[in-house]
Chain A
């Protein structure tokens, strides 16, 4: 009984951690521009697909394939900002959001052209043999997912609270005018935000690919669940997105385990709708933490 619960919890935390990484990416770009980047899920897809391609097809060893896949996705993120968002900088937020939707369709199409429509498996980083922890079967890849997420969260915390670039990103989010008057180049910050979000998405994609497989459309659902994590945690509040991601992942795993896996994907939609109806600022939303 309890072992079963722990088993579900473990798989919930594992997928939840990837939703958290994607959700943080949504929040970072939102903070720099009020834009919801619907191509966020495609960063996840690109990370997984590139890693698979570099490892399986190009024959690179994993320690080279993974960083290259992340770097490649970062380049795509920077290009997206430079060639799609930047030229339309003076357009309305809604227009910019529609541009990101267009970009997501374009990236999915591009991935199909280059890599085909098939599902691909990226081998797990340290094998598939489950580790038995008093009855709970722990997939080694789960440990990689959770471990990397913890490290990334610690690094992000250090970055946002201790470095000038991190502080500038927070400053832009709280008060764009004052940040500009302090000498922050908000266009550079937006560019950097796209690069950072792409890196986080790609990392999630590389980590989850051995568990869920990777294919050109894999980013649709992952992006949506990351969005759900960001909304639930309070859009623009990266730490909230982490909690949000874990809640979405765990709810999903419990629903799949105790009710039916047929309802698994519905959980995220229900959470989005409930959040928007009952607490539009999310659990830790801006208005909750800021005293103005």
Chain B
């Protein structure tokens, strides 16, 4: 297993946002996490990235216990997150945003990665000198993903990448995610858009009020009665 989470809990003050969560992600897998507003999805990703502390449980990455490791060292090990709401560095140029994504890499490696991202996302190359805040929502999402890829992720965490995008762009985002998995990147995607996320996922988890209540293959979850009623509006 690339990522192995066991019995994880996390709190905001006295509010328990994660309660005894266990999740496994294998190398090369595309795993989706779905759940309603406030279920604790973002909190889980923040604990995996080391931004929020765990109050109980363990996080193993590549067999090593990283539960107390600071966020920058996790990025160096290959855990890279595209946060909820894109969070680009608005006043900085597009190119600087990308370079920041390669912050933990050496200068030569960073240059190489930059050329690769421009090739993958030509629209970003065209606006490389614009402040990131001037891009459209869809382009900002593209930038946020490209910035994360600059870090050469072994595990890519995506927090609601389709949020607030027009339907055509949503499809584009899911196409990109599928392409990344096909290129060998392990992806853990959090989505409220449960149908599309589960459709492309190898496996999925369903979270309610801080707990994992269902775990199965993506296909099985799509036909699960409980999932259909609660998340697919069927």
Which segment, of A17-25, A94-102, A180-188, faces chain B?
A180-188
Q: Which of A173-212 contact B (CB under 8 A)?
A: 174-175, 177-185
CB distance from B209 to the nearest CB of A (A): 24
Please determine whether A170 and B51 come into contact, CB atoms closer than 8 angstroms: no
Among A164, A174, A175, A183, contact of B75 (Cβ-Cβ < 8 Å): A183
A179 and B151 alpha carbons, distance in the complex (Å): 12
Give the interface residue-count category, chain A.
20 to 34
Known: A167-B92, A174-B91. A183 touches B103 (CB 8 A): yes
Q: Is B99 an interface residue (CB 8 A)?
A: yes
B154 on the A face (CB < 8 A): no
CA distance in complex: A289, B133 (Å): 11
Q: Considering residues B51, B71, B147, which has the most beta carbons from chain A within 10 angstroms of its beta carbon?
A: B71
B91 neighbours in A (Cβ, 8 Å): 170, 174, 289-290
Query: Is there contact, CB below 8 Å, between A181 and B92?
Result: no
Q: For chain A, what secondary structure do more than half of its interface residues adopt (helix, strand, loop), or is it mixed?
A: helix
- Could you say which of A177, A182, A290 contacts B100, with CB atoms under 8 Å apart? A182
Kindly state whether residue A292 has any CB partner on chain B within 8 Å: yes
Set of chain A residues within 8 Å of B133, measured between Cβ atoms: 290-292
B51, B101, B103, B147: which has the most chain A beta carbons within 10 Å?
B103
In whole angstroms, how far apart are the Cα atoms of A144 and B107 in the complex?
Answer: 36
* Docked-complex contact A174 and B90, CB < 8 angstroms: yes
Residues of A within 8 A of B104 (CB): 182-183
Contact A181 B51 (CB under 8 A): yes
Q: Which residues in window 252-292 of A have CB below 8 A to B?
A: 289-292
Query: Quick one: which of A164, A177, A182, A292 contacts B90, CB cutoff 8 A?
Result: A292
Question: B129 on the interface (CB 8 Å rule)?
Answer: no
B83 touches A178 (CB 8 A): yes
B211 within 8 A of partner (CB): no
Instruction: Tell me if A168 and B103 are in contact (CB < 8 A).
Output: yes
- CB within 8 Å for A175 and B89 given contacts A182-B75, A291-B131: yes
Is B9 at the interface (CB under 8 A from chain A)? no
| Residue numbers in B under 8 Å from A181 (CB-CB) | 49, 51, 71, 75, 80-81, 83, 87, 148
Residue of B96, B131, B151 with most chain A CB atoms under a 10 A cut-off: B96
B123 interface contact, C-beta 8 A = no
| B90 and A290 within 8 A (CB) | yes
A175 touching B72 by the CB < 8 A rule? no
A76 within 8 A of B: no
A171 at the B interface (CB under 8 A):
yes
Contact across chains for B72 and A184 when beta carbons are under 8 A apart = yes
Q: Which residue of A lies closest to B80 (CB)?
A: A181
The residues of A with any CB-CB pair to B shorter than 8 Å are 164, 167-168, 170-171, 174-175, 177-185, 289-292
